[in-house]
Amino acid sequence: MNVLGTKLLNLIITTALATKKCRNFAFETNKQKSGMNIKDIQNVLNDIKHLEAHDEKEIENLRIKYLSRKGEISKLMSEFRNVEADKKREYGIKLNELKKAATDKINALRNSISTSKDVNADIDLTRTASPVKLGTRHPLSLVKNQIINIFGRMGFVLADGPEVEDDWHVFSSMNFPADHPARDMQDTFFVENPNILLRTHTSSVQSRVMEVSKPPIRVICPGRVYRNEAISARAHCFFHQVEGLYVDEKVSFADLKQVLLTFSREMFGPDTKIRLRPSYFPFTEPSAEMDINCDICGGKGCSFCKHTGWVEILGCGMVDPAVLDANGIDSSKYTGYAFGMGIERIANLKYKVDDLRLFSENDVRFLEEFSSAY
Ligand code: DAH
């Protein structure tokens, strides 16, 4: 190769090197110029998507890291002016996306912390529970349950019957004559025809039990009864009774008396005295009314006991053989006793309530008086 040839080759190589250097230089200045590329933005975006924080402080640190004036996004933003003109649009969109993603993420982290904080704040495990306002048992239910318990301990089981009854169970099967005043429209609520009525006493359950059972029968039947009465402190158009019936061989009046004495002492105290006065009911023979000594005046006499020292609490007697036979029980083999008492009457005596109407007026001030009487 001659000298010219060598020179030419050198020139080519130098030019080539210079061009390459130049390209490299151009490349390096370009990178230095913008200081970032799309991948850098994408990396930060990925990081942001997976950010986690457990408390306000961690969130604030993340905000400072990414969104503050000296944060990573601001740095990238400040590089934006160096981005080549033809790339500006692409970078601009990406940077906006990045800023929005970071702001959204920080807000979402704040929300989740404040929600979980609120939930926890509401649960104070050391706080005493707010008191649940309990109702109280109605005084009539208290007395009824006591009566059921006392007789239950003496072997009486519960029996029930309908409040809307027919003439047979209330009157005919209980030996009421056709012209008995209780059958009068003035005394009894009739529902449809003279055959269907609101029961006037729980003695109808005696009949319902006897027609389906064989002796020995020993039942107690609490329930509501209705009478066509003007409402006053001493009378109401509805009230509650408990009926008792014992049918077996050789049941005697002495058995009845002993059961009633035991009941009275359990109900009103061990010193309670009873008195049986002859009376009349269509379904018992002999019949009696039972009094207990007046608890209010201690037997001395007061307005409550009408100055007799005694107050009546129930009717009773030996079941009339006609009633046993009418209800399918052989009166030549079996005898029985029955009794019936008003629950309101017992409650009056026990709690010294002198106005029947209080029991059905639903005045909570009255009802709350019995909250400790269980
Ligand atoms: N049924 C009667 C009434 O309502 C109460 C009564 C009296 C029931 C005597 C009886 C009894 O079982 O033997 O007044």
Could you tell me the strand order of the sheet in which 310-319 lies?
157-158, 217-226, 238-248, 335-342, 310-319, 284-293, 274-281
User: And the tokens for 269?
Assistant: 């105290």
Predicted pLDDT at 186 = 82
The more confident residue out of 367 and 29 is 367
Atom number, ligand 1, closest to the C-alpha of residue 206: 12
317 CB near ligand 1 (under 6 Å): yes
Cα-based torsion angle of the residue sequence 192, 198, 202, 203 in order, rounded to the nearest 10 degrees: -40
Residue 314 and residue 290 in contact, taking contact as beta carbons nearer than 8 Å:
yes
pLDDT digits (tens, 9 = 90+) for 354-364: 898 999 999 99
Percent helix, strand and coil across the chain, each rounded to 5? 50, 20, 35
Using 50, 70 and 90 to split pLDDT, how confident is the model at 121?
A: low
Predicted pLDDT at 21 = 41
201 CB near ligand 1 (under 6 Å): yes
Cβ burial, residue 372 (10 Å; 0-12/13-18/19+): exposed
342 CB near ligand 1 (under 6 Å): no
User: And the tokens for 293?
Assistant: 């000594």
The more confident residue out of 246 and 130 is 246
Residue 316 alpha carbon to ligand 1 centre in Å: 6
pLDDT digits (tens, 9 = 90+) for 165-197: 999 999 999 999 888 888 887 899 999 788 999
**Average pLDDT of the residues of the chain:** 87
Residue 138 and residue 362 in contact, taking contact as beta carbons nearer than 8 Å:
no
256 CB near ligand 1 (under 6 Å): no
Using 50, 70 and 90 to split pLDDT, how confident is the model at 117?
A: low
340 CB near ligand 1 (under 6 Å): yes
223 CB near ligand 1 (under 6 Å): no
d(CA 290, CA 253): 13
Residue 366 alpha carbon to ligand 1 centre in Å: 29
Name the closest-CA residue to atom 2, ligand 1. Answer: 340
Predicted pLDDT at 32 = 41
Residue 320 alpha carbon to ligand 1 centre in Å: 12
Residue 270 has pLDDT above 90, yes or no: yes
Q: What integer is the mean pLDDT of 73-87?
A: 88
Name the closest-CA residue to atom 6, ligand 1. Answer: 340
- Please calculate the CA angle 98-103-107 and round it to the nearest 5 degrees: 145
Residue 42 has pLDDT above 60, yes or no: yes
Which stretch of 33-47, 214-228, 331-345, 352-366 has the lowest confidence by average pLDDT?
33-47
Using 50, 70 and 90 to split pLDDT, how confident is the model at 120?
A: low
Predicted pLDDT at 374 = 64
The more confident residue out of 351 and 315 is 315
Name the closest-CA residue to atom 3, ligand 1. Answer: 201
Predicted pLDDT at 8 = 44
Cβ burial, residue 225 (10 Å; 0-12/13-18/19+): buried
Residue 13 has pLDDT above 50, yes or no: no
176 CB near ligand 1 (under 6 Å): no
Task: With 0.85 as the threshold, say if the pTM is over it.
Answer: no
Dihedral sign of CA atoms 72, 73, 77, 83 in order: positive
d(CA 248, CA 3): 152
Name the closest-CA residue to atom 4, ligand 1. Answer: 201
Strand, helix or coil for residue 134: coil
d(CA 175, CA 319): 10
Residue 256 and residue 339 in contact, taking contact as beta carbons nearer than 8 Å:
yes
Dihedral sign of CA atoms 295, 300, 306, 310 in order: positive
Atom number, ligand 1, closest to the C-alpha of residue 203: 1
Atom number, ligand 1, closest to the C-alpha of residue 283: 13
